[in-house]
Amino acid sequence: MTETFDRERAFAEAVAREAGALLLDASGKVAAREKGPSDLVTDADIASQRLIARRIAEAYPGHAILAEEEGLVADPAVASRWVVDPLDGTINFAHGFPFWSVSIALEVRGRIVVGVVHDPVAGTTFSAARGGGAHRDGDALRVSRVDSLRTSLIGAGLPTQFARDADRQSALFRSLSSDTHSVRRTGSTALNLAFLAAGGFDLYYTTSVHPWDFAAGVLLVEEAGGRVTAIDGSPYRLDRPTLLASNSLVHDEALRRLALAWQGLSSAAEPEPPAG
């Protein structure tokens, strides 16, 4: 009998909403500080993570947690781990730009089986369980049917330290900005992937992503009929920093464009190739 993970999905939805309510209450009331250059954190991030970690420990005491703040890491000997971003889009949150989210995923024996992305500002919850489809507030999601990059809307995740990789980032961005409907950089990978699953975006790419940013979102995309790989076309991995997600119909065309962009860089300016 196939395990459904419906209980775990419902749990993650409830906890994400609880954390989202905490964040909404803190919005505009907390100051941001830099934990690294252009990498912000607030007391709200930490409070949200502590809440989520506490709820997981209460409900699933044998599970590990991999999360962004405060050094919570997974025990490799534990088969089940929760991958948590307590506030995806901290820079947006700190500046009052209403595009941020809570992302919670469950990985079992190396496979993501539950993914939840909650948008507190809109009051919307995207969720998926492996084999059970993707949903937004109970309504089934499907990726778009756009079959050409020429008519695609594309999401981009650019690094905050853009100048360190400017040649590559500019080349990749240019390759997808030309002869498409447009490219958007919104600042929340989790929400970008959720909107791709819902048919809003047709493609999303990034070269500087962390596992907690995308673990939940990739399952949403896959369960909505989309495709996810590394940016070079190899299988994506939580421990590697590149991602290409699509409605599946434009995926191969995007891979060809990105490969050509990479090959077009001058050897003198060429950094290490994107990890796959």
220-276 pLDDT per residue, tens: 999 999 999 999 999 999 999 999 999 999 999 999 999 888 776 543 343 333 332
Please name each of the domains of the chain with its CATH number. Answer: 6-140 (3.30.540.10), 149-263 (3.40.190.80)
Rounded CA-CA distance 119/83 in Å is 17
pLDDT in the model for residue 168: 79
Where the chain has pLDDT below 70, the residues are 1-2, 31-41, 70-76, 160-163, 264-276
**pLDDT at residue 269, rounded to an integer:** 40
Distance CA 19, CA 27 (A): 12
pLDDT of residue 223: 98
Identify the residue whose tokens are 């534990």. Answer: 78
Strand blocks (E) in 10-72: 32-36, 39-42, 64-67
Q: Where are the alpha helices (DSSP H) in 151-210?
A: 166-177, 189-197
Kindly report whether the global pTM for this prediction surpasses the value 0.85.
yes
Query: 80: which residues sit within 8 A by CB, 6+ positions away?
Result: 60, 62, 63, 64, 106, 107, 108, 109
Q: What is the CA radius of gyration of the chain?
A: 18
Output the pLDDT for position 32.
65
